[in-house]
Amino acid sequence: MQILYLQHNLIGKIENLRRLRDLDYLNLALNNITKVENLERNEKLRKLDLTVNFIDIDGLLSVESLRVNHQLEELYMTGNPCTEFDQYRAFIIGTLQQLKRLDGKTITATERIQAQQDLKENRARLVVAAKDRVRQKGGNPDLVDAESVPLQEVDSDEDGEDLYGYSPEIRLSDYKREEKKKKREEEEKIRREKERDPFKAAMEEERANRKLIKDDGTVRLVNDGKWPFEVDEDDAEGTVIAKIMFPKFLDTSMLDIDIQPTYFRVTLRKPEKHDKVIQITFPCEVRPDDASAQRSQNTGELKLVCPKLHWVPPEKVEGDMDFLDEKPRRRGRSDTGVVPELGKKGGKGGGSIVGGLAGRGVNVRNMVDSSPNKGALDMKEIKTSLPNAAAPAQEDDDFEDDPDCPPLE
């Protein structure tokens, strides 16, 4: 894994990432992180985003743990309380000499040299400021250490009352408060729907509490969305093909596909509503591990291709059928003198007289040249002439014109 997005997840501590040796970009923005730690094993880490967390001045010293990440080039700390420290940028640049960009701004050579020269003085100022901040929080300032800054707890409750400003506890309590508010609104909405349409509400409740597999193990056939579907068998390829026609503009990420040896189930996840399910049995047992799913962008159709479990490829028919199925060979010149399809291919038990030539052309251009009786043939040019209509007719000396004879037409 090279890219990991964990933003907006209420994460309070960086942990369990040591096995990701190839991690290149880690996004931990909008969480409850108060300290930079446990990233020493991520040797290839190049970009780290800690935007809008709770790394305070007393937690800024934990940035020193990133010195071992030699490939780290970009660091984002915008929105953290530690940015209130006057020498915040200079301290990070002087501590992490491998950085190239901090908070989206390129680090210049002059800025780097100046930060390294003032690092000792800036670090001493930071320790003093960190002790003052811990004292303001009600913690023990003597616990502030350059290598390990302890986590300072802040008393707070669900009403948001705390001893020191905005804290991870307040963000967590706000989240719980919002969840309770959404739950109350959802319950109120369900109650109003039951009062408005009791029959529909009863049907929805029954569908939500139903069992898709019966007690005896029989699979229940379900199609909540009434989507058109078809299940066919391909004997030539040994597969079972299932097609479900979903709406074209339905997001594919809302579909949850579950393929079992005897049936398949596709669940349409609908936030704030009951999910819709289509569950259909296969005509035979299949191999779920080798199945594949495809979704058409033009029609929205979902296609499931599942190989059969007990399938034996059909044996190839040997004999004259190989000769009949033989395709004509291509030649270097054009086959303008070839007459195609002299007859149709014969079926079982025989065929037409010219069935053996079906699908193969006969070259009529060299037909006479290849004849064994060519020497006995008398091939003479036949010349024919038509009478010229314009030439005058010659009269016979013995011709007598009989006036009683009708004219020839």
pLDDT higher than 80, residue 229: yes
- Running DSSP on this structure, what letter comes out for residue 237? T
**Which pLDDT score, from 0 to 100, does residue 212 have?**
84
Nearest alpha-carbon partner for 264 in 297, 238, 293: 293
Are both 233 and 167 inside the same structural domain? no
Q: Outline where DSSP puts E strands in 52-150.
A: 74-76, 101-102, 105-106
403 — pLDDT class (breaks 50, 70, 90) = confident
**Which pLDDT score, from 0 to 100, does residue 348 have?**
45
Cα(21)–Cα(31) distance, rounded to whole angstroms? Answer: 23
pLDDT higher than 50, residue 216: yes
Q: 180 φ, ψ to 5°?
A: -65, -35
Are both 276 and 180 inside the same structural domain? no
Are both 197 and 251 inside the same structural domain? no
pLDDT higher than 70, residue 131: yes
pLDDT higher than 90, residue 199: no
Strand order in the sheet with 263-268: 222-223, 276-281, 263-268, 255-259
**Which pLDDT score, from 0 to 100, does residue 263 have?**
93
The residue to which tokens 């023990």 are assigned: 140
Among left, alpha and beta (phi > 0; psi -120 to 50; other), residue 359 is left
Q: Considering the chain, what is the average pLDDT of its residues?
A: 77
Cα(259)–Cα(242) distance, rounded to whole angstroms? Answer: 11
Tokens representing 285 are: 């047992």
115 — pLDDT class (breaks 50, 70, 90) = very high
Nearest alpha-carbon partner for 223 in 185, 266, 192: 266
Are both 82 and 168 inside the same structural domain? no
Cα(323)–Cα(339) distance, rounded to whole angstroms? Answer: 19
Residues of the domain holding 288: 222-307
Q: CA-based angle 150:152:155, to the nearest 5?
A: 160
Whether residue 390 is contained in a domain is answered as no
Cα(90)–Cα(114) distance, rounded to whole angstroms? Answer: 8
pLDDT higher than 90, residue 75: yes
pLDDT higher than 90, residue 304: yes
Flag whether the pTM goes above 0.75: no
Calculate the alpha carbon distances from 18 to 14, 37, 43, 300, 302 in Å: 10, 11, 9, 41, 39
Are both 230 and 264 inside the same structural domain? yes
Are both 13 and 110 inside the same structural domain? yes
Higher pLDDT among residues 397 and 215, named by residue: 215
Q: 293: which strand partners? A: 304
Whether residue 368 is contained in a domain is answered as no
- C-alpha torsion 319→320→321→327, nearest 10: 120
Tokens representing 264 are: 């398949």
Whether residue 318 is contained in a domain is answered as no
pLDDT higher than 90, residue 239: yes
Higher pLDDT among residues 374 and 178, named by residue: 178
Tokens representing 110 are: 């002059």
**Comparing 75-84, 176-185, 237-246, which segment has the lowest mean pLDDT?**
176-185
Cα(335)–Cα(332) distance, rounded to whole angstroms? Answer: 9
Strand, helix or coil for residue 307: strand
Are both 171 and 137 inside the same structural domain? no
**Which pLDDT score, from 0 to 100, does residue 130 have?**
86
Number of domains the chain contains: 3
Whether residue 242 is contained in a domain is answered as yes
pLDDT higher than 50, residue 164: no
Whether residue 257 is contained in a domain is answered as yes
Identity of residue 315: E
Whether residue 28 is contained in a domain is answered as yes
**Which pLDDT score, from 0 to 100, does residue 100 have?**
92
Whether residue 266 is contained in a domain is answered as yes
Q: 5: which strand partners? A: 27
Query: Of the candidates 143, 177, 192, which is a domain's last residue?
Result: 143
pLDDT higher than 70, residue 317: no
**Which pLDDT score, from 0 to 100, does residue 393 have?**
53
Cα(58)–Cα(130) distance, rounded to whole angstroms? Answer: 4
Strand, helix or coil for residue 7: coil
Cα(102)–Cα(110) distance, rounded to whole angstroms? Answer: 15
pLDDT higher than 70, residue 147: no
pLDDT higher than 70, residue 299: yes
Are both 27 and 138 inside the same structural domain? yes
The residue to which tokens 């033009």 are assigned: 298
**Which pLDDT score, from 0 to 100, does residue 332 have?**
44
**Which pLDDT score, from 0 to 100, does residue 51 have?**
93
Q: What percent of the chain has pLDDT over 90?
A: 32
Higher pLDDT among residues 32 and 401, named by residue: 32
**Which pLDDT score, from 0 to 100, does residue 257 have?**
93
Q: 307: which strand partners? A: 239
Q: 170 φ, ψ to 5°?
A: -70, -40
Whether residue 251 is contained in a domain is answered as yes
Are both 35 and 97 inside the same structural domain? yes
**Which pLDDT score, from 0 to 100, does residue 197 have?**
79
Burial class for 392, CB neighbours closer than 10 Å (0-12, 13-18, 19+): exposed
Cα(133)–Cα(114) distance, rounded to whole angstroms? Answer: 27
Strand, helix or coil for residue 294: strand
pLDDT higher than 80, residue 237: yes
**Which pLDDT score, from 0 to 100, does residue 19 have?**
87
pLDDT higher than 70, residue 110: yes
Are both 136 and 176 inside the same structural domain? no
Cα(209)–Cα(327) distance, rounded to whole angstroms? Answer: 61
pLDDT higher than 90, residue 243: yes
Per-residue model confidence as pLDDT tens digits over 319-377: 555 545 555 544 444 444 444 444 444 444 444 444 444 445 555 555 555 555 555 54
**Which pLDDT score, from 0 to 100, does residue 230 have?**
93
**Which pLDDT score, from 0 to 100, does residue 344 have?**
45
Are both 200 and 268 inside the same structural domain? no
275 — pLDDT class (breaks 50, 70, 90) = confident
The residue to which tokens 């940035």 are assigned: 63
**Which pLDDT score, from 0 to 100, does residue 142 have?**
67
The residue to which tokens 């299949």 are assigned: 286
Q: What integer is the mean pLDDT of 139-143?
A: 70
Calculate the alpha carbon distances from 203 to 149, 171, 314 in Å: 57, 39, 49
Are both 159 and 205 inside the same structural domain? yes
